[in-house]
Structure 1
Amino acid sequence: MKVNVIISPEVHEAYAEIHTDKMTEEIGRIVDMLSTEAAPVTARAGEELVVLKPEDIYMVRVENGDTVIYGEKRSFRSAKRLYELASQLGNKFMQISKSTLINLSYMDSIEPGFSGTLLLKLKNGSKDYVSRKYLPEFKKYLGL
C-alpha cells in the first residue's frame, strides 16, 4: 500500500483519506485503527486513584473476580469488566484468553504451550497463554 504524509501549517487537525477501488479486509483494519481513540483508564493502587494512559498498560487480567491492570512495575485494580476495558483501550490491545487482554506493543517473546496454545511473554516479565479460541486471530496479527 502506498502511503503519503503531507505536512501543512494550514491543517489544524490531522485527518486521513484512503483512495481505493474496493473495500478490503486490510483497509477495514486500517480504518478501525485510525478511527479508534483510546481513552485513559482510572484504577486503584491501594487507596490511591490513578489515571493510566493506554501506553502505560501492559496487560489486563481477571484474577479471582477482580480486574487487575499490569503496568511496567506496578499493578492496579479496576472496577470495570474486561470487555469494557477492551473497548476503552482501543486497537493496540488484543484479547488472548477469556480473562486476559494484552498491549500488542509490549510483546517480548512467544513459546509453544500445552495443547496447541502459545505462551506469550511481555517486556515487563508478565506472561499468559493465548488460548485456542483466540489463537487464529493472534496468529493472523503476527502474519503466521
Structure 2
Amino acid sequence: MRVDLFFSRDITEPHAEIHTNELTENIQHAINLLEDDSKSNMLAVKKGKDITFLDFDEIFMIRVEDKQVKVYTENNEYQVKKALYQVEESLNQNFVRISKTTLVNIKKIDRVAPSLKGMMFIMLKNGLKDNISRKYLPDFKRTLDL
C-alpha cells in the first residue's frame, strides 16, 4: 500500500483520506485508529516500505542506533521517523527510559543486575541487552517500586 503524507500550515485540523478499491481489515483498522482521538495503544512503524501498527504490548525496546529510532519486538526490528522523545510522549506507563538513547517496556524485562561504574545491566525476554545509566537509574527504580 502506498502512503502519501502532506504537511500544510493552512490546515487547521488534521484529516486523512484513504483511496481503495475494497475495505480490507487493515484499512478498517487504520480508520479506527485515525478516528480515535484518545491515546492509542499502538505505534506506527516502518519496515522497508511497509507501514504497520504495533500494539505497545508487542514492543520490547526502542532505541536510537546510527541516528535512527529503532523499535524491537520479540523477533523483528522496525524504524520510526519520529525523534525518541516524541515516541516516548505517545507511550503508556509501561515504558521507562534507561539511557539517553533507550526506552524499555517493563513488562518485557527478564532480569536486572549490577554492572560497571554504578550502572545496572538489563536483559529483556527476547535476549536484547542494555545498560541502565546512573542518570536514569532512580527513575527506573521508582517505576518498578524498588
Of 104, 110, 116, the match for 1:108: 110
Report how far residue 126 of structure 1 moved.
0.7
| Aligned-partner Cα distance in 2 for 1:37–1:96 | 23
Aligned length: 109
Report how far residue 88 of structure 1 moved.
0.6
Instruction: Give 5+ residue unaligned stretches, structure 2.
Output: 1-37
Report how far residue 87 of structure 1 moved.
1.1
Whether the aligned pair in 1 keeps the contact of 2:62 and 2:103 (CA below 8 Å) is yes
| Aligned-partner Cα distance in 2 for 1:65–1:100 | 12
Report how far residue 106 of structure 1 moved.
0.6
- The answer to whether 1:97 aligns with 2:95 is no
Distance 1:37 1:63, change over 3 A: same
Of 72, 87, 90, the match for 2:89: 87
Q: CA RMSD in A?
A: 1.4
Which residue does 1:45 correspond to in 2?
A: 47
| Aligned-partner Cα distance in 2 for 1:74–1:117 | 27
Counterparts of 1:27-66 in structure 2, within 5 Å, are: 37-66=39-68
| Structure 2 counterpart of 1:96, one-letter code | I
Helix, strand or coil at the partner of 2:118: coil
Report how far residue 142 of structure 1 moved.
2.9
| Structure 1 counterpart of 2:109, one-letter code | M
Whether the aligned pair in 2 keeps the contact of 1:96 and 1:134 (CA below 8 Å) is yes
Report how far residue 46 of structure 1 moved.
1.3
| Aligned-partner Cα distance in 2 for 1:131–1:38 | 29
Q: CA offsets per residue over residues 76-124 of structure 1, 9 Å max, x none?
A: 0110111111111111100010000000111100121111000111001
Whether the aligned pair in 1 keeps the contact of 2:63 and 2:71 (CA below 8 Å) is yes
- The answer to whether 1:128 aligns with 2:134 is no
Whether the aligned pair in 1 keeps the contact of 2:96 and 2:143 (CA below 8 Å) is no
Could you tell me the TM-score, scaled by structure 1's length? Answer: 0.71
Helix, strand or coil at the partner of 1:91: coil
| Aligned-partner Cα distance in 2 for 1:121–1:102 | 10
Give identity over the alignment, percent: 36
Distance 1:131 1:46, change over 3 A: same
Of 68, 71, 75, the match for 1:69: 71
Whether the aligned pair in 2 keeps the contact of 1:38 and 1:90 (CA below 8 Å) is no
| Aligned-partner Cα distance in 2 for 1:54–1:125 | 18
